Amino acid sequence: MLGLLRQKIGSGTSSAMILGQSRQLIRPAVSALRNYSSAVKEMTVRDALNSALDEEMSADPKVFLMGEEVGEYQGAYKITKGLLDKYGPDRVLDTPITEAGFTGIGVGAAYYGLRPVVEFMTFNFSMQAIDHIINSAAKSNYMSAGQISVPIVFRGPNGAAAGVGAQHSQCYASWYASCPGLKVLAPYSSEDARGLMKAAIRDPDPVVFLENELLYGESFPVSAEALDSSFCLPIGKAKIEREGKDVTITAFSKMVGYALKAAEILAKEGISAEVINLRSIRPLDRATINTSVRKTNRLVTVEEGLPQHGVGAEICTSVIEESFGYLDAPVERIAGADVPMPYAANLERLAVPQIDDIVRAAKRACYRAVPLAATA
């Protein structure tokens, strides 16, 4: 297939024709308080992602989608609803259940100038394709001395859902964020989803786009600016969702909502929490985090993933290296329990961070609660 793509591109054949002629080689045999400016309407995260994909496909014929059930079934979570009817099977490709196969094809297509958006039904299945993501997509630009760009997006739901057990509940933020050559994004709101998806598709490098299944149906206010087809958010820039002066809380994806609700509870008790929505895990907006900590003098990091070698651990290290002298209390780190995700609902709830966990951590940081060591 790659030879065909190279031959066709070299002869000046259009991207649309390349996709059409290579299609048979790809297709399977069986076919809380938030700071928003000038909010004009409500939009679900699902619709935000769908509209971003639609607009980028309309603007650039090199963009195409591939993955399990993205076409005829309209997407396992309906993110790609209507796109097969609009753009046809040449650009919305249903694949077999073989992540290693279709991810490799997507990376090869990106080598030759196309812009694939590869969907994993869940990022847990990306483990089947991790060699292509890490060794082929992430490293090729460096190993080719900048001669090969790999403009590809790997997207899908990440982290815990509900009642799907240990093998389908993992958070891959720290996994992929540890790899040079990848950019890793984790949207929270509908504006995040639209702006970051557009940025990911337009970026010349491979982007891992970590969504959350439980956020797909949640609605958020969307500004007039974000509804414009030219809207795009910068990669590597966090957003201060709520300003505060007593403690900084960092979070990403679904945990941003939890942090905002915790901040509301804390405000009733006289604690002013600043909530930072990371948006980008790699590159990490260290400047925004450290500026906030130098103002509040306290830090609580929140993530769903496992604690060891996590995103929170990296943030803590950054603050200790750059802002240690500003800290008035030990850093608090909230993460998932260091165990495989339990299947039982009561144990599952204990294994992932809850709003009360964030509230207690912020109080400890502000010396408004008995330290954990004193209760041991």
pLDDT at 252: 98
Answer whether 54's CB lies under 8 Å from 86's CB.
yes
Q: What's the pLDDT tens digit per position in 277-327? A: 999 999 999 999 999 999 999 999 999 999 999 999 999 999 999 999 999
> What angle separates helix 190-202 from helix 45-59, to the nearest 10 degrees?
30
Which whole-number Å values give the CA distances from 327 to 76, 89, 146, 320, in the listed order?
45, 56, 41, 8
For residues 129 and 361, give the distance between their C-alpha atoms in angstroms, rounded to a whole number: 37
Please say if the pLDDT value at position 253 is more than 60: yes
CA–CA separation, 18 vs 26, rounded Å? 12
Question: What is the predicted pLDDT for the residue at 34?
Answer: 47
pLDDT for 376 equals: 52
Record the tokens describing residue 106, joined without a space.
């997507």
Domains of the chain: 42-227 (3.40.50.970), 239-366 (3.40.50.920)
Q: How many CA atoms lie less than 13 Å away from 268 in the CB half-sphere?
A: 6
The predicted pLDDT at position 371 comes to 57
Residue 94: its H or E element: strand 92-94
Buried b (16+ CB within 10 A) or exposed e, 314-332: bbbebbeebbeeebeeebb
Share of the chain above pLDDT 90, in %: 84
pLDDT at res. 20:
52
pLDDT in tens, 138-154: 999 999 999 999 999 99
Closest CA to 293 of 269, 310, 317, 309: 317
pLDDT bucket at 156, cuts 50 / 70 / 90? very high
Q: What is the pLDDT of residue 368?
A: 87
pLDDT above 70: percentage of residues in the chain:
88
> What gap in Å lies between CA 261 and CA 355, rounded to an integer?
7
Mean pLDDT of 184-203: 98
Q: pLDDT: is 297 or 38 the higher one?
A: 297
3-state secondary structure of 104: helix
Catalytically active residues, by annotation: 99, 168
Per-residue pLDDT tens over the stretch 122-133: 999 999 999 999
Task: Give residues with Cβ within 8 angstroms of 8, minimum separation 6.
Answer: 17, 18, 21
Alpha helix segments (H runs only) across 116-253: 130-131, 140-143, 173-177, 190-202, 224-227
Does residue 150 contact residue 140 with C-beta atoms inside 8 Å?
Answer: yes
When pLDDT is cut at 50, 70 and 90, the band that residue 163 belongs to is confident
Assign residue 195 a region: left if phi > 0, alpha if psi is -120 to 50, beta otherwise? alpha
- Position 6 scores a pLDDT of 43
Question: For residue 4, what pLDDT is reported?
Answer: 39
> Is the model's pLDDT at 73 over the cut of 80?
yes
Each residue's pLDDT tens digit, 111-120: 999 999 999 9
pLDDT at 194 over 70: yes
- pLDDT the model gives residue 40: 77
How many CB atoms sit inside 10 A of residue 356's CB?
11
Contacts of 70 (CB under 8 A, 6+ apart): 80, 83, 84, 92, 93, 94, 95, 119
Confidence of residue 369 (pLDDT cuts 50, 70, 90): confident
Rounded Cα distance, 376 and 371, in Å? 9
For residue 5, pLDDT beyond 70: no
Q: Is the pLDDT of residue 33 over 90?
A: no
pLDDT at 200: 98
Average pLDDT across the chain, whole number: 90
Q: Is the pLDDT of residue 158 over 50?
A: yes
The tokens of 264 are what?
């509301």
End-to-end CA distance of the chain: 62
Name every residue whose Cβ is closer than 8 Å to that of residue 324 and which is 6 or more positions away in sequence: none
Contact 66, 105 (CB under 8 A): yes
Maximum Cα–Cα distance across the chain: 73
